Structure 1
Amino acid sequence: MSPDVLLKDPYVLDFLGLNDRYLEKDLEDAILREMEQFLLELGAGFTFVAPQKRVQIDHDDFYIDLLFYNRKLKRLVAIELKLGAFKAEYKSQMELYLRWLAKYEQEPGEQPPLGIILCAGKKQEQIELLELDKSGIHVAEYLTVLPPREALQAKLQQSIVSARARLQDQQKI
């Protein structure tokens, strides 16, 4: 099963009840407090593994914000929470985490780990130029309030067009 089928964008996190101003730690704490709702928003097959998963490399400590396992994909999924829009340097941070997970945490028979960088905004051209999809990294937006009806309708139409295009591409193969 392809990760693109299971991974969403955007994630609607209005159930967290965050104000207009919050820190990355506030976002993480709210997700942990509302884990059941967050798992439902992530989609099928996700199980929670650890918050702030410690990664030690060359005597330096790093922390993966949230670590999950997806039973359907048979792989670990690292989630990094970012307050602002996507930045190119997030790629190298996530690649480091994914390579560490592959080396030290991946079990025999599992697929390589995936990463989700959850940002308040996306920069599509940067994401495309960095070829994140080839690195096993998915960038998704999160929304802390439900968007207006018109925006939801536009997103639905866009999703339908994308799904039809993928279907046509698959039928050509």
Structure 2
Amino acid sequence: MDFLGLSNDYLEKDLEDAILRELECFILELGNGFTFIERQKRMIIDGEDFYLDLLFFHRKLRRLVAVELKLGKFKAKDKGQMELYLNWLNKYERQEFEEAPIGLILCAESSREQVELLQMHKDGILVAEYWTELPPKAQLEKRLHQALVEAKERFEKNTIYLE
């Protein structure tokens, strides 16, 4: 996220504004088929206003893609918030030809074990980290190595279940 030019002291709105400034490049980098729908999508539930940060549509997937931005570390309650948004989108925004909406929570730090235990992938929700600056090389190498080890363990675990 270095390309956004944010200082270390910024708000969620600053992050959203920076992403929108780079939206054309951002969408092109995501691949063909993404279309920007709305920012701060207002949803009224039981008379209360809720706002989804960013809403996209993917033509090939034929589904809405909800994006929620979090400044801090992922928290289990973020899943509930995204589920609420996805269910609302499914009920009020989804067209007949579309698949169920999916969600992406972008946060400063994910909580791998919480994400795994919550089995968010089953609900069509993904969690990803963004970085405003790269960590020192040694720390980055350690994190990449750990991610590879975890991915290998998940692959081997899934292979055992498939046999």
**If the length of structure 2 is used for normalisation, what is the TM-score?**
0.84
Which residue is equivalent to 2:109? 121
Aligned to 1:87: 75
- Partner of residue 109 from structure 1, selected from 77, 85, 97: 97
Residue 110 (structure 1) shift? 1.1
Q: CA RMSD in A?
A: 2.6
Cα separation, 2, equivalents of 1:123 and 1:157: 14
Aligned amino acid, residue 50 of structure 2: F
Q: Gaps spanning 5+ residues in structure 1: where?
A: 1-12
**Pairing of 1:33-44 with structure 2 (within 5 A):** 33-44=21-32
Instruction: Say if 1:15 and 1:37, in contact at 8 Å, map to a contact too.
Output: no
Give the CA deviation at 1:40. 3.5
Separation of aligned partners in 2, 1:145 and 1:43: 24
Closer/same/farther in 2, CA of residues 68 and 160 from structure 1, 3 Å limit: farther
- SS of corresponding position for 1:64: strand
Runs of 4+ in structure 1 over 2 Å off: 40-45, 145-163
Residue 84 of structure 1 aligns to a residue in which SS?
strand
1:160 Cα deviation after fit = 10
Equivalent residues, number: 158
Q: Percent identical across equivalent pairs?
A: 58
**1:50–1:83 Cα change, 3 Å:** same
Query: In the alignment, which of 12, 19, 25 is matched to residue 31 of structure 1?
Result: 19
Corresponding residue number in structure 2 for 1:7: none
TM-score for both structures, normalised by structure 1? 0.79
Q: Deviations over 1:13-53 (max 9, x none)?
A: 22111111111011001111111232234344321100001
Of 11, 23, 35, the residue aligned with 1:47 is: 35
Q: Distance in 2 between matches of 1:103 and 1:46?
A: 21
1:74 is matched with which residue? 62
Alignment partner of 1:155 out of 120, 127, 144 = 144
The structure showing larger relative contact order (alpha-carbon pairs under 8 Å, at least 6 residues apart) is: 1
Deviations 1:62-118 (A, max 9, x none): 100000011221110100000001011111111000000000111112110001110
CA distance in 2 between partners of 1:40 and 1:22 (Å): 25
Distance 1:36 1:156, change over 3 A: farther
SS at the partner of 2:73? coil
Tell me, in whole angstroms, the C-alpha distance in 2 between the residues paired with 1:85 and 1:131: 18
Residue in 2 that maps onto 1:9: none
Q: CA deviation at 1:146?
A: 4.1
1:61 equivalent in alignment to 2:84: no
